Amino acid sequence: MSCAVHAVELRYVYPNGHAALDGIELHVDHGERVAVLGPNGAGKTTFMLHLNGLLTGSGSLEVAGVDVGPKTLTELRRRVGVVFQDPDDQLFMPTVAEDVAFGPMNMQLDPNEVRMRVAEGLAAVRMEHAAERAPYQLSMGERRRVAIATVLAMRPSLLVLDEPSANLDPRARRELLDVLERVERTMLITTHDLPLAAELCERAVILAAGRVVADGPCRDILGDPELLALHDLELPAGFDLDGVPTRPSGTRAAPA
Amino acid sequence: MGALCNHSLELTGLAGDPASPVHRLDPRAKILGLVAITIVAVSTPLEAWPVYACCAGVLAAVAVAARVPPGAIWRRVRFLLPIVLAAGVFLPFVRHGGGQYELGPLTVHEEGLRTFAAVSAKAAIGTVSAVLLAATTTFPAVLRGLEAMRVPRLLVLIAAFMYRYLFVIVEETGRMRAALAARAYHPRTALQAGPIGRMATVMFLRTYARGERVYSAMLARGYTGQMPYLTPLVLRRSDLAFVALVLLALVPLRLGMGVAA
C-alpha cells in the first residue's frame, strides 16, 4: 500500500554549502496529521519544498504514492498541495476566483469542472463572498484561507502547510483552525505554534539541524518540556495540554 | 506616504459606469479603437486642426457613452500631460519663422508657437485616449487583450506581475520609510540620502527573493509556462461596430489631409 510520505536518508545541501537536510527519515501514512516542529533554520521549509519536487536532494523520497523525480513532477503536484508561508507569494492572479482556478486549470480540467472546484475550494475555507475581490484587498487571515483554497481546489491527497498561523491575530487564527479542523486530508503542518499543533495533529516530529530528532504522539512530544527546551521550543506559559480535546490517531479516510 | 501612493494607484482603476456599453466591450476592441485615434492624431500634418477636432469629438463621445465624468478624466490627465508636454516646451524658442515676440531675454517665434500648439493637441489626444482606455478597462483585461493580440507573452506576464506586486512593494516601502522616520531619519540634504539608497537595495533583494518564491508557488500548482484563462475572449458584433465607427469617423478625414511633414 502506498503511503503519504516516505523519506529515507534525504539530504539537501544549498549551493552555499549549508546542509539544510542531513538525512531525514520519516514515514507518514494516509489520513495522518503530522506537525513538523523545530526552531528557525532546522530545515522545515526546505523539507516542505522537497515534498512537491521544488527542491530535490539525495536519498529516496516517495510522496503521495509517487517516487519523486523529474518524470513524476506533474503527477506529484496534482497530489500534493503546498500552502506557502506568505500568502502574497501564493496569490498572484488579479482576483481570488482566478487564483483558485489557476491550479485546476493547469490540471487541464474542463471549464465547468474548474468553476465547480473554485466554488468548492472557497466554500471549504468560507471565502465564497470574496471570489471577485483582489488579493490585496483581503486581510492577512483571509489571504491565508484563500491560499489554502487555491490548493484544496486541486483536491490533493496530501496537504502541506508552512507556518499557517504566522502573522495572524487570535480571531483569524481561530478561524483558520476551524477551517483546517474540517479538512479531510492527510496533513503535514510545519509550525512553531505548539498549541495549534496540539489541536490539529495527533503526531509530531521535531526537526533539528536537518534531522528528525523526535517522533511520536503530539501529546507526548509537547508534554516533554526538556525535549522541547533542548530544541528551542516552548509551550506558552500556563498552556494546559490536557485541556485540548484528544484527537484519535489515523482515523481519517484517505481520499483518492 | 503610503496613503498617498495608494491614492495615486486608485487613479489607475475604473471610472464611469461599469455597466456602460463601452466598459462591456472586448478589451481588444477598445485597445484597437483608442490606439487608432492616437495614431491618426500623431500621424497628421501639424496644421490639420479639423482632424484634431474630430479626434477630440470621438473621445468625447466615448467618454459620454462610458459615463466617465470630465472631472475623473481631468484628474488623471493632470498627472500625465505635463510629462508629455515637457518635451515640446522649448519649441517656441528654438523653432524660427513667422513673427517674433520679445519676452525679456528670450525670443518667441510664431512658427514655434504653432508647432507647439499642434504637438500639444497630439499629446492631449494621446493622453486622453490612454486615460479613457484605463477608465473603461481593468488592467488585467487590457493585458489579456494585448496577449490575445499577440503581444509577446513574456512582456504581458511581466506587466501582470508588476501590477499585482506594486501594492505589496508600495506597502513594504511605506513600512521601511516609517521605520527610518521612527529612528529620527529626516533627510534635509543630498548628503543624507545614503539610507534611501540602501533601502532601494534591500527592496531590490527582497523583490528578487519574492520573485523566486512566487515562481515556486506557481510550479507547486502545476504551472507549465502557459497562463490558463477560464473564460475565452469573444469578439461580438458590438466590438466590431465600435472599431468600425471610430475608423469611419477619422480615417477618411485623415486621408484627406495628406502625409505628416
Identify the band that residue A217 occupies on the pLDDT scale cut at 50, 70 and 90.
very high
Helices B153-182 and B139-148, interaxial angle, to 10°?
Answer: 150
d(CA A117, CA A236): 38
Q: Does B191 touch chain A (CB under 8 A)?
A: no
Chain B residue nearest residue A90, CA to CA? B217
How does B159-180 read in b/e, with b if 16+ C-beta sit within 10 Å?
A: bbeebbbebbebebbbebbeeb
Chain B residues lying within 8 Å of A81, measured CB to CB: 220-221
User: Any chain A CB within 8 A of the CB of B216?
Assistant: yes
Cα–Cα distance, B130 to A140 (Å, whole number):
34
Least reliable range by pLDDT among A199-208, A227-236, B51-60, B102-111: B102-111
8 Å CB contact between A237 and A70: no
Residue with cell 509577446: B152
Dist. CA A25–CA B137, nearest whole Å:
53
Q: Which residues of B203-228 are buried (b: 16+ CB within 10 A; e: fewer)?
A: eeeeeeebeeebebbbbbbbbeeebb
Domain chopping of chain A, boundaries: 5-91+155-243
Residue in chain B closest to A155 (alpha carbons) equals B221
**pLDDT given at position B227:** 78
Per-residue pLDDT of A177-204, as tens digits, reads 999 998 889 999 999 899 999 999 999 9
C-alpha cell recorded at residue B55: 479626434
Where residue A64 falls (left for φ over 0; alpha for ψ -120 to 50; beta otherwise) is left
How near does any CA of chain A get to the CA of B107, in Å? 53
Chain B residues with CB-CB distance to A158 below 8 A: none
Q: Can you tell me the distance from the alpha carbon of A28 to that of A63, in angstroms, rounded to the nearest whole number?
A: 9
The continuous run of DSSP H or E covering A36 comes out as strand A33-37
Q: Which cell numbers in the block locate residue B108?
A: 518667441
Are B216 and A89 within 8 A, CB to CB?
yes
| Alpha-carbon dihedral angle through residues A189, A191, A193, A196, given to the nearest 10 degrees | 0
In a mutagenesis test of the B interface, which of A68, A136, A139, A159 is the best target, namely the one with the most B β-carbons within 10 Å?
A: A136
Q: Which amino acid is at A112?
A: N
Chain A residues with CB inside 8 Å of B167's CB? Answer: 136
pLDDT at residue B258, as a whole number: 67
CA–CA dist A144, A122 (Å, integer): 12
Does residue B232 sit in helix, strand or coil? coil
Task: Tell me which chain B residues have a C-beta less than 8 angstroms from the C-beta of A93.
Answer: 164
Contact residues on chain A for B210, CB-CB shorter than 8 A: 88-89
Query: Which pLDDT belongs to residue B260?
Result: 52
B-chain residues within 8 Å CB-CB of A117? none
Testing the interface with A: which of B138, B221, B230, B233 to mutate, by most A Cβ within 10 A?
B221
Query: Which residue of chain B is at minimal alpha-carbon distance from A97?
Result: B230
CATH code at A5-91+155-243: 3.40.50.300
Is residue B228 within 8 angstroms of chain A, CB to CB?
A: yes
Beta bridge partners of B107: B102
Name the range with the highest mean pLDDT among A225-229, A240-244, B161-165: A225-229
How does pLDDT run across A93-134, given as a tens digit for each residue? 888 999 999 999 998 899 999 999 999 999 999 999 999 898
Q: Each residue of A69-88: pLDDT tens digit?
A: 888 988 999 999 999 999 98
Q: Select from A81, A92, A101 the Cβ nearest to the Cβ of B230.
A: A101
Compute the residue count for chain A.
256
Residues 6+ apart with CB under 8 A from B252: none
Distance from CA of A219 to the nearest CA of B (A): 32
According to DSSP, the β-strands at A19-28 and A80-83 are: unpaired
pTM beyond 0.80: no
**Span B120-171, pLDDT tens digits:** 999 999 999 999 999 999 888 898 899 889 898 889 888 888 888 887 888 8
Is there a contact between B254 and B42 (Cβ–Cβ < 8 Å)? no
Of A94, A98, A103, the CB nearest to B221: A103
Q: Would you say residue B1 has pLDDT above 80?
A: no
